Amino acid sequence: MTEFKNEVKIPSKGGLAKARKRLDDLRRKEPSPELVKIIEEVTHISEKNQIKKDIQKDEGIAARSLHTPEAGI
Amino acid sequence: MKELLLVLFILLRQEFNLGQALPFSEIDQYFKKLNSPVQGCLVDTQFLIAVTDELHPFYEDAEFLFEKLAEYRIPIFTTVTTRSEFVDIRRRFIITETMMGMLSASSKWRISVATQKVLRAQKTWIDAQAASDALPLLTDSRIKDCKESFMPRTQSGQIGWVQLCNEYLSGKLFESWSILSEELNLNYIDLRGEELSLYMNEKVHWHKMYSISEQTCLSSNDSMLVNVLNCSKFPFIVSADFDIAYSVLASNSEKAVLIPDNLHYKKIKGLRF
């Protein structure tokens, strides 16, 4: 429709398919064995921490309930 | 009678070039009516996502429109806002795919039961998003919930989350934008320079952005984009976002917004200002 200076880029029909393919290729499918090991360890530490936190929370609730007027303390 | 009035109303808006929202399928008629040559158009982030991501509800519509722009040789322009939003959505896309991939039966990941539980809860939400035609991407708040599973409380996450990001995200955001820009032949308007760009009628000022945002409660990022459109020589913006379409329609400016047909018929066609 218009004449443009050289520096202006015009979209081309084939460009879209190329963009989609290259963006798809960029997706990483499998993790490295090193990362698998690290994540396994880390998520298990995280799980243990959460269990510890839950126990502390339960103990806190139990301790507080002993100090309620109903408990007579 | 009612329909006749509606047609008259639309014709009057077109005659006086008041803000128009048109479906993609009317692009040929729209170009025929334009009196002057088109120097280019703006696109929003949702359009760029729609054109590249097959999970997007407007994937096919966006492809149709992109090919039309190529056919008519209309240069596509982006701004700093579009780039930053696109990169942000790519970040969420990559991390969502990585997190959800950990739940796959064939995956090599070995994660704890607690982490599986966290990720399954997110997957339920993701599936619901996909079922309702919304983008199935984790929000920042949900990414934060996942992140905590990969960084034990007593550690910084240096071993864990940071390494995960390094392997899956490092370099990918820069490359994603480079690919898009290169293959779709996107042009970029740099608004920081002192000189007025060749494609702008006037300088872009903050106070106008505030007014645009205030008029329809448009997000600041979208308001910046609409502000650039209003100050530019471009007659239209291509969008896949209702809020931008609504704002252009409400603005009574001389600009138009082209949106996917389905969005137009469901949410825009019946609106009168």
Query: B122 or B152: whose pLDDT is higher?
Result: B122
Q: Distance between CA B213 and CA B150 in Å, rounded?
A: 38
pLDDT band at B60 (very low <50, low <70, confident <90, very high): very high
Chain A contact present for B73, CB below 8 A? yes
Query: A58 or B57: whose pLDDT is higher?
Result: B57
* Cα distances (angstroms) measured from residue B133 to each of B50, B112, B123, B138, B263: 12, 31, 15, 14, 12
Minimal C-alpha gap between B12 and chain A (Å): 26
Mean pLDDT for all residues in chain B: 90
3-class secondary structure, B170: coil
Contact assignment for A1 to B115 by CB distance below 8 Å: no
Whether the model clears a pTM of 0.90, i.e. scores above it, the answer is no
- pLDDT attached to residue B234: 96
- pLDDT attached to residue A61: 63
Least confident of A36-50, B34-48, B110-124, B218-232: A36-50
* Cα distances (angstroms) measured from residue B25 to each of A46, B14, B21, B183: 53, 17, 12, 24
Q: Give me the interface pTM, i.e. the ipTM.
A: 0.85
Q: Does residue A54 register a pLDDT over 70?
A: no
- pLDDT attached to residue A3: 46
Q: Does residue B77 register a pLDDT over 60?
A: yes
Q: Does residue B108 register a pLDDT over 80?
A: yes
**Looking at chain B, which residue has its C-alpha nearest residue A9?**
B185
Residues B96-115: what's their mean pLDDT? 94
Q: Distance between CA B75 and CA B73 in Å, rounded?
A: 6
Chain B contact present for A55, CB below 8 A? no
Half-sphere exposure of B161 (CA within 13 A, CB side): 16
pLDDT band at B273 (very low <50, low <70, confident <90, very high): confident
B21 phi and psi angles, rounded to 5 deg = -120, 120
Contact assignment for B151 to A46 by CB distance below 8 Å: yes
Cα dihedral value B219, B224, B229, B233, nearest 10:
180
pLDDT tens sequence across B12-32: 555 555 689 999 999 999 999
Residues B233-261: what's their mean pLDDT? 94
Transcribe B29-56 into DSSP letters.
HHHHH--S----EEE-HHHHHHHH-TTS
Residues B107-128: what's their mean pLDDT? 95
- pLDDT attached to residue A63: 61
- pLDDT attached to residue B205: 92
Q: What are the tokens at B97?
A: 């795919």
Decide if B161 contacts B147 (C-beta within 8 A): yes
Q: Does residue A34 register a pLDDT over 60?
A: yes
Bridge partners of residue B76, in order along the sequence: B41, B186
Helix B220-231 × helix B80-101 angle, to 10°: 140
Minimal C-alpha gap between B247 and chain A (Å): 27
